[in-house]
Amino acid sequence: MSLGKVARGLVLPARVALRPAAPVLHRSYAAVSEARAVLESELEGIRVAGTWKAERIITSKQGPQINVEGSRSTILNFCANNYLGLSSHPEVVQAGIDALNTHGAGLSSVRFICGTQDLHKNLEQKLAEFHEREDCILYASCFDANAGLFEVLLGPDDAVLSDELNHASIIDGIRLCRAKRLRYKHMDLRDLETKLKEAQSSRLRLVVTDGVFSMDGDVALSGICDLADQYGALVFIDECHATGFRVWRARGRGTDELLGVMDRVHIVNSTLGKALGGAAGGYTVGPKPLIDLLRQRSRPYLFSNSLPPPVVGCALRAVELLLASNEISQSMTAKTMRFRNKMTEAGFTISGSAHPICPVMLGDARLASLMSDDMLKLGIYVIGFSFPVVPKGKARIRVQISAAHTDQDIDQCVDAFIQTGRKHGVVS
């Protein structure tokens, strides 16, 4: 039989086999269409509410001055978590280049298979030294560190007591564990004590809080360790917005150092993606048995590729710079207070206290969005925050001061706020 006859013989059965699929395909298209309509309706609701979050395109490296797509001139950046200006520090950048050359672009694997290099172990050792803890474990992000901790540490016989305004990654991480969950009012020691009393029958009790609450600039921990000691609880803090820079003349180790309780805070999670180079990565520091157990059971660690060597190299150099000297961060407090004082004198309400996160409270989501757009036209890059990032009615423009900003940069930002605030009736 010729190949042509064979091919013709296959055509008819194939056509017959495909005929019944048409209604199935139609139903599939209908399902997609219905889902699209639901999604578009949800998106339109966000636009109408004025809470749409557009992503501006930066065409330069991160720093106090950046180039933004659509803007003709250089823009002053006041919304990055680049607290120490290390994202583009020459030594940090060169360390990343060196690591790329010596250790490659990536490991193509998870840590326990073939994804651990000497760079990773060196960084973990330096971070443990920096925080004055026994050991450290790296993650792809602090979100992963928070997602990977509670499920391993806590079981159904334990209790976790969490501040109601803790970061979303903490909330999601706690949802993964089977411990009894108790939420206490924001930085309310009386309510925390009530919850601790309620949890006394539990095997382990873990108090969980942000060290600095990133939306408000509130500094927690004061009094928490006293209650934890009284009721036999462990203490965990997320230090993403406190690690690495000086606040109130501290060395930059975090809020536990600031308040003199480093030996009473048992577990610290933080990030490499803010003050420590600004690339990516997170970590947990704490007792060695905990870190060893996380290496065995923490799912984000076990099932995610190890951090790329250039990222590790950059972070390692950033930590080394901070261990060697406080010079980089010495001006942070003065610059922060300069902005806070000038804005308060102009009639704005600034949340938090003495932290470089300086939320300009506006209340209305649409107003926050409009003002941030007008600020960009004046050469200042800031972003409006609204629900669900912050509670409804608590919209604000969050300004973040960097050690790399000059006094002139800060004064220009304040002047732009005053001009925009007058336009929208926020200040007179």
C-alpha neighbours within 13 Å on the C-beta side of residue 238: 30
The encoded tokens of residue 72 equal: 């003709």
The encoded tokens of residue 124 equal: 């973990």
- Annotated active-site residue in 87, 162, 169, 214: 214
pLDDT at 332: 79
pLDDT at 245: 73
pLDDT at 89: 94
Q: Is 104 left (phi over 0), alpha (psi -120 to 50) or beta?
A: left
The whole-angstrom separation of Cα 380 and Cα 376 is 5
pLDDT over 90 at 254, yes or no: no
Q: Verify whether residue 386 is a known catalytic residue.
A: no
The pLDDT tens digits for 344-383 are: 999 999 998 788 999 999 999 999 999 999 999 999 999 9
Instruction: For residue 296, name the pLDDT band (cuts at 50, 70, 90).
Output: very high
pLDDT at 181: 98
Q: In what order do the strands lie in the sheet with 180-184?
A: 135-139, 282-286, 267-271, 234-238, 205-210, 159-163, 180-184
pLDDT at 355: 87
The pLDDT tens digits for 20-66 are: 555 666 667 888 899 999 999 999 998 887 778 788 899 999 999 99
pLDDT at 185: 97
Q: Is 278 left (phi over 0), alpha (psi -120 to 50) or beta?
A: left
Q: Verify whether residue 131 is a known catalytic residue.
A: no
The whole-angstrom separation of Cα 212 and Cα 239 is 7
Classify each residue of 279-290 as buried b or exposed e, where b means 16 or more C-beta atoms within 10 Å of its C-beta: bbbbbbbbeeeb
Q: Which of 32-36, 110-114, 197-201, 246-250 has the lowest mean pLDDT?
A: 246-250
Neighbouring residues of 413: CB distance < 8 A, sequence distance ≥ 6: 76, 78, 339, 380, 382, 399
Compute and round to an integer the Cα radius of gyration of the chain: 26
pLDDT at 55: 85
Report the share of the chain in percent with pLDDT over 90: 74
Burial class (CB in 10 A: 0-12, 13-18, 19+), 40: exposed
Greater model confidence, 428 or 3: 428
pLDDT at 72: 76
The whole-angstrom separation of Cα 246 and Cα 53 is 31
Q: Verify whether residue 274 is a known catalytic residue.
A: yes
Q: Which of 127-141, 324-338, 395-409 has the lowest mean pLDDT?
A: 324-338
- Annotated active-site residue in 89, 195, 274, 405: 274
C-alpha neighbours within 13 Å on the C-beta side of residue 311: 21
Name the pTM for this structure. Answer: 0.87
- Annotated active-site residue in 89, 131, 241, 342: 241
pLDDT over 50 at 12, yes or no: no
pLDDT at 14: 47
Q: What residue has token string 């600020």?
A: 375
Greater model confidence, 68 or 143: 143
- Which of 309, 236, 311 lies closest to 276 in space, CA to CA? 311
Average confidence (pLDDT) over 119-138: 97
- Which of 295, 168, 92, 110 lies closest to 283 in space, CA to CA? 295
Q: What residue has token string 């917005």?
A: 241
Greater model confidence, 62 or 14: 62
Which own/partner pairs from 346-353 qualify as long-range (CB within 8 Å, at least 24 positions apart)?
346/414, 346/417, 346/418, 346/421, 346/427, 347/421, 347/426, 347/427, 347/428, 348/417, 348/421, 348/426, 348/427, 351/216, 351/217, 351/218, 351/396, 352/216, 352/217, 352/218, 352/219, 353/217, 353/218, 353/219
Averaged confidence pLDDT in the chain: 91
